A and B are shown apart, each in its own frame.
Chain A
Amino acid sequence: KAGVTQTPRYLIKTRGQQVTLSCSPISGHRSVSWYQQTPGQGLQFLFEYFSETQRNKGNFPGRFSGRQFSNSRSEMNVSTLELGDSALYLCASSFNLRGYTFGSGTRLTVV
Chain B
Amino acid sequence: TQLLEQSPQFLSIQEGENLTVYCNSSSVFSSLQWYRQEPGEGPVLLVTVVTGGEVKKLKRLTFQFGDARKDSSLHITAAQPGDTGLYLCAGALGRDDKIIFGKGTRLHILP
Question: A residues within 8 Å of B by Cβ?
Answer: 4, 33, 35, 41-43, 45, 48, 55-56, 90, 92, 97-105
Contact partner, A35, options B33, B101, B102, Cβ 8 Å: B101
Query: Which B residue's beta carbon lies closest to that of A3?
Result: B42
Number of interface residues of B (CB under 8 A): 23
| Distance to closest chain B CB from A53 (angstroms) | 12
| Distance to closest chain A CB from B63 (angstroms) | 13
Which residues of chain A have C-beta atoms less than 8 A from B92's C-beta? 97-98
Task: Say what secondary structure dominates the interface of chain B.
Answer: strand
Q: Is B68 an interface residue (CB 8 A)?
A: no
Given contacts A98-B31, A98-B50, A100-B33, contact A45 B42 (CB under 8 A): no
* Contacting pair B96 A100 (CB below 8 A): no
Contact partner, A42, options B44, B97, B104, Cβ 8 Å: B104
Please name the 9 residue pairs, one residue from A and one from B, whose CB atoms are nearest each other, closest first. Answer: A102-B42, A42-B103, A43-B101, A99-B45, A97-B97, A98-B48, A99-B48, A56-B98, A102-B43
Complex CA–CA separation, A102 to B98 (angstroms): 16
Which residues of chain A have C-beta atoms less than 8 A from B88's C-beta? 42-43
Q: Is B111 an interface residue (CB 8 A)?
A: no
Which residues of chain A have C-beta atoms less than 8 A from B41's C-beta? 104-105
Q: Is B13 an interface residue (CB 8 A)?
A: no
Contact partner, B96, options A35, A55, A98, Cβ 8 Å: A55
